[in-house]
Amino acid sequence: MNLVQPAAATTIDSPAIGGRFSVVIVNYNGGAMLLDCVSSALREGVPASQIVVVDNGSHDDSLHLLEAHLPGARILRNACNAGFARAVNQGINQGIAQTSSDFILLLNNDALLEQNALRAFADAFDTLPRLAIAGGQLRYPDGRLQNAFAPLPTLTEELLPLPLIRLFAPAHARRKTLQTEPIAAESVFGACLCVRSAVLPKLGLLDEDYFFFFEEIEWCQRAWQTGFEVYHLPGARAVHRGGHTANRFRGGARVEYQRSKLTFFRKTRSRTSYLVLSIFLIFRTFINALSGLGMCCATLFLNRRLRLKARTYWFVFLWLILGRPASWGLPEKCKAS
């Protein structure tokens, strides 16, 4: 168990920088990772009173570990899994609405802020007056870059294979960069995402129609449409273990991903685009499921990774042809209000 203890500030001004931020962390059975995550924010100078953990009905030891090692941690408890967007909004409305922080950082419970990440966020917001949402650079624990930004989804992107997009529109396919300067991005990913507090009255909170996935993408689109800017900040670095919840509930997580994608197209794109995508997803998923089954047969079902992949495709295909039942997806979800 890798428990990261709060350490003294590494730079003289880190408490002053950290005091400009409030942090919202959504937790669902995060184990020791939650303590590591909170500790990384404290280490960057964020006051404990400005860190809010919103727990989505965890039944592991994550909250016990947090309370034992960091007594007084601010925790909002949901009795069930309320989803990412609703939990973040709870953290903002109930947890930090009374603070005077300049920025609100959304941090996954499996992410760790690196040294001076908050300074990079603050410098960018101070330099770019129209900047509303900024996403940090994400790395795996071994140092490899993760995808951290993307163009806004389009029907063309859904219909064309990614290798073809990379060949003819490489800039459109880019999801990560070794560039060191901030770059404008159509959308940034939510594992380490910061929003300027002053824009929230005009921008609004996350759309709670998204349970898991695409909520930050819609937020970024809304920011651009409202006249603000979105940037990827390579200097705001975070280690992200990545896919903790999705990997444990692979089939359910893929259903949630496709459900959120369809929700995004239904709410933000034309009716024709939504209908075309709905039909195309059934066709594409069926082809992938058949291909996965063929690969399993060719390897006599001995390859566990191939079995898991094929099973996931068949699970999503069944969900699609059964009319996308609301009860399928991630477990222990709160009932719709």
Residue positions counted in the chain: 337
How many other C-beta atoms lie within 10 A of the C-beta of residue 137?
Answer: 25
Pinpoint the alpha helices (H) of 45-189: 62-69, 84-90, 117-127, 155-159, 162-168, 170-173
Please write the tens of the pLDDT for every residue from 183-215: 999 999 999 999 999 999 999 999 999 999 999
Q: Once rounded to an integer, what is the mean pLDDT over residues 280-297?
A: 97
Average model confidence (pLDDT) for the chain? 92
Q: How confident is the model at residue 248 (pLDDT cuts 50, 70, 90)?
A: low
Q: What pLDDT, on the 0 to 100 scale, is given for residue 3?
A: 37
Q: What pLDDT, on the 0 to 100 scale, is given for residue 10?
A: 39
Q: What pLDDT, on the 0 to 100 scale, is given for residue 47?
A: 94
Predicted confidence (pLDDT) at residue 235 exceeds the cutoff of 70: yes
Q: How confident is the model at residue 100 (pLDDT cuts 50, 70, 90)?
A: confident
Q: What pLDDT, on the 0 to 100 scale, is given for residue 280?
A: 98
Q: What pLDDT, on the 0 to 100 scale, is given for residue 99?
A: 81
Answering whether pTM is above 0.95, one says no
Q: What pLDDT, on the 0 to 100 scale, is given for residue 14?
A: 66
Q: What pLDDT, on the 0 to 100 scale, is given for residue 328?
A: 96
Q: What pLDDT, on the 0 to 100 scale, is given for residue 282?
A: 98
Residues 204 and 117: beta-carbon distance below 8 Å: no
Predicted confidence (pLDDT) at residue 1 exceeds the cutoff of 50: no
Please write the tens of the pLDDT for every residue from 255-278: 999 999 999 999 999 999 999 999
Q: How far apart are the C-alpha atoms of 52 and 92, rounded to whole Å?
A: 9
Residues 246 and 148: beta-carbon distance below 8 Å: no
Q: How far apart are the C-alpha atoms of 69 and 87, rounded to whole Å?
A: 23
Residues 195 and 103: beta-carbon distance below 8 Å: yes
Predicted confidence (pLDDT) at residue 246 exceeds the cutoff of 90: no
**Stretch among 70-74, 203-207, 330-334 having the lowest mean pLDDT:** 70-74
Please state the CATH superfamily assignment of the domain spanning residues 14-246 in this structure: Spore Coat Polysaccharide Biosynthesis Protein SpsA; Chain A (3.90.550.10)
Q: How confident is the model at residue 172 (pLDDT cuts 50, 70, 90)?
A: confident
Q: Once rounded to an integer, what is the mean pLDDT over residues 139-163?
A: 94
Predicted confidence (pLDDT) at residue 52 exceeds the cutoff of 90: yes
**C-alpha torsion angle, residues 52, 260, 137, 34 (rounded to 10):** 30
Task: List the chain domain ranges.
Answer: 14-246, 249-321
